[in-house]
Each structure stands twice: as structure tokens, then as C-alpha cells.
Amino acid sequence: MTAIPSQTFVAEETSIASWVFTLDHKRVGVLYLFTLLALLALGGAFAMAIRLEHLGPGETLMSPMTYNRLFTLHGVTMVWLFLIPSIPSAFGNFLLPIMVGAKDVAFPRLNLASYWVFAAGSVVVLVSMFAGGIDTGWTFYVPYAASSPTAVPLALIGIFVVGVSTIMTGINFIVTVHSLRAPGLGWMKLPLFVWAIYATSVIQVLATPVLGMVLVLVGLDHALAFGLFDPAHGGDPLLYQHLFWFYSHPAVYIMVLPAMGVVSEVIPTFARKNPYSYGAIVYSSLGIAFVGFLTWGHHMFVAGLSRFDAGAFGLLSMLVAVFSAIKVFNWVFTLKRGAIALGTPLLHVFAFLVLFFFGGMTGVAVAATSLDVHWHDTAFVVAHFHFVMVGGTLTAFLAALHYWFPKMTGRLYPERPGAIAAVLVFAGFLLTFVPQFLLGNAGMPRRYATYDPAFQGLQRISTVGSWVLGAGMLLIAAYLAWSLFRGARAGDNPWRSRSFEWRTPSPPPKENFVRPPRFDVGAYDYTRPLEGEDE
């Protein structure tokens, strides 16, 4: 398809200003990607320090006060600054317009603004870390968050600003999918990644304002002693929990739906097959986005919900798992009898399938009220949500990073270190978090700096696991940085994928297409050859 030589979006202009003020969605995506990778590295460094502290039962490296700050900074960085924006902002920005056959997003200026608003919000959060840190946990539970002597207001402002950026991105993607689809590209022909980002955007736009509001209220409680959530002033801390989880449960689907979108792209490409049921994947994404709004109470089973409410929230939570299971079956059936080509993206997808499956199953387990009373606020819950957030979102992010690396850079990464790193990340993850299920079940509370010496064996395994995981991540950083400059040329479509984004040069030219795209061969149609390709 490279018949007509074209300038890539990178080579087209090289000044710093051309990046700072860029209106090209691909450049905005690249800016996001580098920023997010830096934040991931920071959050990862905090995580390593947390695990180091748990090498021994008593005070190992730091005081319990420092430990409180550390796990808060880790959670805040990972959840608010990395996981929530990650796949949509970096890969969604780069790919969504190409996948719908558009030249750009609907509002390129808003898109650029969303990046700089995000960057500003992140800087404010980072400044709060230097201004003494925060020790409330990423959840900012009141009444403590309203009185903690740490830099809570600054962190709240930063997260609020990041939320504004999330809404901007969500609106942009929704309008883009509605109004900029190329002629002939009907809704039910859209790539599944687009559907996933679309469903995510709906949650972002509807739920994030609630988060913004509740953060402002905590800030007012903290700064001006409003007492809204403080029983000493007639306020209600449970009101906070309702409002917070009304956003933050849907937010877990903001994290995992885009990951599911990545998996739905990688599997057909590497199995060279149509998805087993396109419709089931689309409708289950929409189903998750909808039901995700009805389950927040499962975070409050031990906070005095009525028995009826607890039962209802428990059942609705399990319904989300049904939609997730529909997807898992679909992916597995797509792989079945496929002409599978093993590549690093697919290895990360396999890790996703295994870890997300266990994450989801333990979610169903904690959604059973009686079991949750035992596991709530223990390392068991920590393990559950790391299985879904790291095992789900991070592995899919790594799959996306490798899968679309040739698209974005025009270069290949080396497969052998890629495979070694994928195994290290997977094994390191299991070593880190399987022990935490066992620890939590045995009674290890979450967020404690010290622990009973009886737990030391499992704690040590977990810490060693974090080193293996960290080594895998460093290896990935090293070979990708090398490949960026030295990697072999990829050609336009190294995976011989049918998906729309691969039908334009890699890296794409400024307005994405050399010729207006045609969509008569579907995004997953492996039965017909593409024009210009003999098969």
C-alpha cells in the first residue's frame, strides 16, 4: 500500500513547537504515551519500596508514617495518573481516528488541551508528593482525609484536573465515532477496539463528574471544615463512600474495557480468524458499561448496608462477571483452531486471559457478602484488584505497546527478549500476588507497615516476585528504547493484519491515509486477500 511515498507524521515537522502545539491526534497519543510511561515507572518505584519494607516483619526501611505515604503515592500514581488514562489516551488517541477512517478526532484543539490539562493535573499531584506527600490511601476515605495533616487538598486538586482531561477525551471520542466514520463504515463494522473505547468514553463522561464533585466536597471539608462527611459536625462518612464508589466502581471498567478492546484486536490478528462472535463482544462491552454503574455497594458490605441492599449489590456485581465471561469464551473460541502465530503481543494476551480470569473469579468470591466479611480490608482484596488491574490492564497495555509499536514507529522490536520479558512479568506477577491471597485469607490486613512474623515466608516470596516483575519491565524498557532507533524496519503491516489501522503506511502520514480508505474487506476478514497483498 505504500505505492505513493509519503511523509510520516513524525518526519513531517520536527520543531519542539510542532509537538507542543500539535493538532495531530497521533502526536497527542505519543505525548500521552511517554508521559504515562514515566508515571508508570514512578508508580513502579513506589511499589518496589513497599515490597522492600515487607521483607521483614518489623520496621525494615521506614517508619509506619512513611509507609502510609508510600502506599498512598503508589495507589494515587497508578490508579489516577496511569491506569485510568492509559490505553484510551495513548492508544485510543493514536488509533481510534485511523480505525474509523478519519483524518483526526472531531475536536483536535480539545484533544491537545486534554493532554496539557492532564499534564498540569499530574504535576500538581507530583508537587503534593514533594509537599509532604499524602497518607490517606488512594481512596481518600473520610473522616480521616478531611483532617489528615498531609497535602490532601493539593492532591485532590490535581486529581480533579486530571478528571477534567478524562471528560474532554471521552467527549472527543464519542463525537468522533458518531460523526467521522468513513463512508461505508457502519457501526457493526467498527473494529472492536473502537467499540471498547466508545463504551469506556460513555462511562468517563457520565461518572467522572461525580468524582469531581466528591473530591471538591472532601477538599472543602479539609480546608474549611465544612463537616459534610464528618459525624462530629453532623456529616455522614458513608455518604462519601457511596459517592466515591459510584464513580470508582465504573472506573474499574474504565481501566479494563480498553484492555479488553486490545485483546479483541490482538487475538484475531495472531489467530488469523474472525472473532468468534463479533456481536457478543460488542454487546457485552455495552452491558459491562451499563451494569458497572449498579454495583458500587459491594465496596460497602461491612459498612452497614441493609441485608437487602447487600444481596442486590452482590448479585448485580456477579452479573458483570457474566459479561466478562462471555468475552473470555469468545476469545478462547476465536483462538481455537486458529493458525496461531506466537508473538510477544499474544504472550501478553495469554497472561491477560489467565490473570483476568482469576481476578474476575476472586471478584465473584468477594461479591458474596458472607465471604467478603472475612476478606474485606485484607491482602486478599489487594490481590484481587491487582489481578484485574495489573493482570488485566497492564498486561493488555504491554500487549498494545508491542502490537502497535511497528505502527507507531515503523520499526520492529526483537522477539526473543520480548518473549523473555513477557515470561518474567507473568511469573513475577504470580510470585508477587498469589502469596497475598494466602496472606489475606490468613488474616494479614491491608495497608499495615508491620506484620506478624508468622507471615514472613509468604511476604518474602512476594517481595522477590516484585523483583522478577520489575526486571521484566526494565528489560522491556531497554529493548523498546533500543528498537526505537535501531530496530529493523517493519514495513507497513508486519503482522499481516486485516484491521483498518494496518491499511495505511507505518508510521502513518499526517492525515492518516494516502488514499481514502475502503472498508469492503472487514476488519477481521481473513478469507479474502487485501489489495496489494498476495496470499
Nearer to Cu ion, 20 or 322 (CB): 322
**Residues 250 to 269 in contact with ligand HEM, rule: CB under 6 A:** 252, 255-256
Does 376 participate in binding Cu ion (rule CB under 5 A)?
Answer: no
Do 193 and 261 touch, CB atoms closer than 8 A?
yes
Do 161 and 117 touch, CB atoms closer than 8 A?
yes
Nearer to ligand HEM, 379 or 480 (CB): 379
What is the Cα–Cα distance from 274 to 471, expressed in whole angstroms? 36
Do 457 and 464 touch, CB atoms closer than 8 A?
no
Among 155, 161, 160, which Cα is nearest to 114's? 161
Nearer to ligand HEM, 385 or 524 (CB): 385
- Residue 429 pairs in a beta bridge with none
Number of chain residues interacting with Cu ion (CB under 5 A): 1
The interface partner of residue 221, options being ligand HEM, Cu ion, none and the CB cut-off 5 to 8 Å by kind, is: none
**Binding test (CB under 6 A) with ligand HEM, winner from 124, 194, 199, 367:** 367
Does 384 participate in binding Cu ion (rule CB under 5 A)?
Answer: no
Minimal distance, residue 251 CB to ligand HEM, in Å: 8
Among 252, 355, 361, 230, which Cα is nearest to 299's? 252
The interface partner of residue 420, options being Cu ion, ligand HEM, none and the CB cut-off 5 to 8 Å by kind, is: none
**Binding test (CB under 6 A) with ligand HEM, winner from 24, 230, 372, 492:** 372
Per-residue contact string for residues 287-326; x = within reach of ligand HEM by CB under 6 A: -----------xx-----------------xx-xx--x--
Nearer to ligand HEM, 115 or 429 (CB): 429
DSSP characters for 318-333?
A: HHHHHHHHHHHHHHHH
Nearer to Cu ion, 292 or 417 (CB): 292
**Binding test (CB under 6 A) with ligand HEM, winner from 97, 143, 345, 392:** 392
Nearer to ligand HEM, 200 or 483 (CB): 200
Does 503 participate in binding Cu ion (rule CB under 5 A)?
Answer: no
What is the Cα–Cα distance from 79 to 72, expressed in whole angstroms? 10
Residue 452, φ and ψ in degrees, nearest 5? -65, 135
SS3 389: helix
Minimal distance, residue 362 CB to ligand HEM, in Å: 8
Minimal distance, residue 175 CB to ligand HEM, in Å: 26
Does 363 participate in binding ligand HEM (rule CB under 6 A)?
Answer: yes
Do 358 and 395 touch, CB atoms closer than 8 A?
no
Rg from Cα positions in the chain: 23
SS3 36: helix
Residue 338 corresponds to which amino acid?
A: G
Minimal distance, residue 519 CB to ligand HEM, in Å: 32
Minimal distance, residue 461 CB to Cu ion, in Å: 28
The interface partner of residue 397, options being ligand HEM, Cu ion, none and the CB cut-off 5 to 8 Å by kind, is: none
The interface partner of residue 388, options being ligand HEM, Cu ion, none and the CB cut-off 5 to 8 Å by kind, is: ligand HEM
Query: What sign for the dihedral angle of Cα 362, 344, 279, 103?
Result: positive
**Binding test (CB under 5 A) with Cu ion, winner from 249, 402, 411, 498:** 249
Per-residue contact string for residues 201-240; x = within reach of ligand HEM by CB under 6 A: ----------------------------------------
- Residue 489 pairs in a beta bridge with 411
Minimal distance, residue 245 CB to Cu ion, in Å: 6
Count of residues in the chain: 535
DSSP characters for 246-315?
A: HHHHHHHHHHHHHHHHHHHHHHHHHHTS--S-HHHHHHHHHHHHHHGGG-GGGGGTTTT--HHHHHHHHH
Nearer to Cu ion, 245 or 405 (CB): 245
Minimal distance, residue 301 CB to ligand HEM, in Å: 7
Number of chain residues interacting with ligand HEM (CB under 6 A): 26
User: H helices then E strands: how many in the chain?
Assistant: 19, 0
What is the Cα–Cα distance from 370 to 281, expressed in whole angstroms? 32
Q: Quick one: which segment of 139-147, 241-249, 263-271, 462-470 binds Cu ion (CB under 5 A)?
A: 241-249
Q: Quick one: which segment of 7-15, 181-189, 373-381, 498-506 binds ligand HEM (CB under 6 A)?
A: 373-381
- Between the CA of residue 37 and those of 77, 144, 481, 497, 533, what are the distances in Å? 11, 32, 12, 26, 35
Cell, residue 220: 472543602
Do 458 and 435 touch, CB atoms closer than 8 A?
yes
Nearer to ligand HEM, 385 or 403 (CB): 385
Binding site for ligand HEM (CB under 6 A): 139, 252, 255-256, 298-299, 317-318, 320-321, 324, 360, 363-364, 366-367, 372, 375-376, 381, 384-385, 388-389, 392-393
